[in-house]
Amino acid sequence: MSGFLSIRNLTVHLRGGGPILRAVTMDVAPGQVHGLVGESGAGKSMIGKAVLGTLPRALEITGGEIWLDGVDLLALAPAARRKQIGATAALIPQDPLTALNPGKRIGPQITRRLVDILGWRKSDAEARARDLLDEVHIPDPVRVMRSYPHELSGGMRQRILIASAFAAEPRLIIADEPTTALDVTVQKQILRLISDMQTRHGTALLFVTHDLGVVSKVCDTLSVLYAGKVVENARMRRFFMRPIHPYSAALLAATPIYTDPDRGLTPVPQTVIDAVEREVEHHDVRAGA
């Protein structure tokens, strides 16, 4: 296995229905940031959910392997799998407004799992939470830890969720569109914060987004997803200089910063989309045979 997280031929189906992910293969190296790019509906969030074991009940994993820190998660019993995931990975969710339990104070929401699952002493966990909140630039952490989520702004809550994700020093963090739900002005700060935290803690990061511009700023490697299939795995520099897959090239042309300002934006041409559709269908036929 070449990555800390290695996904091999992961296939996910709607129960009694069609495929959602088709033989997805990708690697996230230790301490590196890997971007996962695709249009909405391409299934990129489902990859993160499959890794973390939170796929909706309507979906089921029908094939493939997910290796996390040298262990195939899909070969583990559910309880052991939960434990392995809880100990090595964490999630920065998309919407900070709904990702904190409205009925609990902030402090316990960060510390409880350290105490419950990882067996920390309560005082240690609280000290850790204070340090982390400080690290994500939250003023007066002691007061914030006593607050309820509804007393804090969206940006504050996202910082708290970031701090919480790093609390147990996970070796992989999955960030699922962590800035989409925020104001444009806050987006940049949060992005920089995630990037800084990742560098400082040396955590591997799987960054799920539809925004190629964001990927270019923070990622080392990336995968491009189209209709549940990875069309390209690449290092960042190579990808932006010379995308191999026509869909990647078209996607790049449709992203503002890489387009000649005089020419304006180029939408992904229909011919490219048709070509990819054919390719995906071809894959289905092969998989079915």
Partner 1 sequence: MRDARGDVRRPIGLRLWLSGGWLALLTVAALCAPWLAPKDPLMQDLFLGRMPPFWMEGAEPGYLLGTDSLGRDVLSRILYGARLALIVALVAGTLTCVIGATLGLMAGYYRGWTDRVISRFVDIWMAFPPVLFAILLIAVLGPGLVSIIIAIVIIDWTRFARVIRAEAMSQGAMDYVASAQVAGRTRFGTMLTEILPNVLPTIIALLTLEMGIAVIVEAILSFVNLSISTDSPTWGGMIAEGRTSVHQAWWVLVFPLITLFLTVLSFSQLGEGLKDRFDPVLR
Partner 2 sequence: MALLRNILIRLITTLVTLFGVAVIVFVVIRVVPGNPIAMMLPPGATDADIARLQAQYGFDKSIFEQFVIWLGGVVQGDFGQSISLRQPVAQLVLGRLPATLELSLMALLMAVLIGGTMALLGTLFRNTRTEGAVDVTAGMALSIPDFLWGLVLILLFGVLWPVFHISGRISPSLNIDFTTNFYLFEALVRLRFDVVADLIGHMFMPALALAIPLAAIIAQLLKQSLKETMHLDYVTLARTKGYGENHVILREALPNAVLPTLTLVGVQFTFLIGGTVIIERLFSYEGLGNMAIDAVINRDLPLIQGIVILFALLFTLVNLVVDMLYVVLNPRLRHA
Q: Which residues bind partner 2 (CB under 8 A)?
A: 52-54, 57, 79, 82-83, 85-87, 89-91, 93-95, 98-104, 113, 116-117, 148, 150-151, 161
Contact 209, 228 (CB under 8 A): no
Q: What residue type is assigned to position 208 of the chain?
A: V
**In whole angstroms, what is the distance from residue 233 CA to residue 227 CA?**
15
Q: Write each residue from 252 to 281 as x if it is in contact with partner 1 (CB under 8 A), else as -, in one continuous string.
A: ------------------------------
User: Could you say which of 16, 70, 103, 261 contacts partner 1 (CB under 8 A)?
Assistant: 16
Smaller CB distance to partner 2: residue 147 or 216? 147
DSSP class of residue 75 equals: G
58 interacts with partner 1 by CB under 8 A: yes
Phi/psi at 29 (5° precision)? -75, 155
Q: Which two tokens stand for residue 87?
A: 């100990």
56 interacts with partner 1 by CB under 8 A: no
Cβ neighbourhood burial of 257 (10 Å; 0-12, 13-18, 19+): exposed
Smaller CB distance to partner 1: residue 13 or 128? 13
Closest CA to 181 of 159, 207, 155, 163: 155
Least CB distance to partner 1 at residue 255 (A): 35
Give the full edge-to-edge strand order of the sheet including 221-226. Answer: 89-92, 172-176, 204-209, 33-38, 221-226, 229-235
Question: What ranges in the chain are assigned the alpha helix state H?
Answer: 44-52, 78-88, 106-116, 122-135, 141-145, 154-166, 184-201, 212-218, 236-241, 246-253, 270-288
Smaller CB distance to partner 1: residue 14 or 75? 14
17 contacts which partner out of partner 2, partner 1, none, CB within 5 to 8 A by kind? partner 1
Least CB distance to partner 2 at residue 208 (A): 14
Least CB distance to partner 2 at residue 69 (A): 14
Smaller CB distance to partner 2: residue 153 or 271? 153
Q: Which two tokens stand for residue 63?
A: 């094939």
Provide CB contacts within 8 A for 146, sequence distance 6+. 105, 106, 107
17 interacts with partner 1 by CB under 8 A: yes
Half-sphere exposure (Cβ direction) of 11: Cα atoms closer than 13 Å: 15
89 contacts which partner out of partner 2, partner 1, none, CB within 5 to 8 A by kind? partner 2
Smaller CB distance to partner 1: residue 18 or 102? 18
Q: How many residues bind partner 1 (CB under 8 A)?
A: 4
87 contacts which partner out of partner 1, partner 2, none, CB within 5 to 8 A by kind? partner 2
Question: Which residues are at the interface with partner 1 (CB under 8 A)?
Answer: 14, 16-17, 58
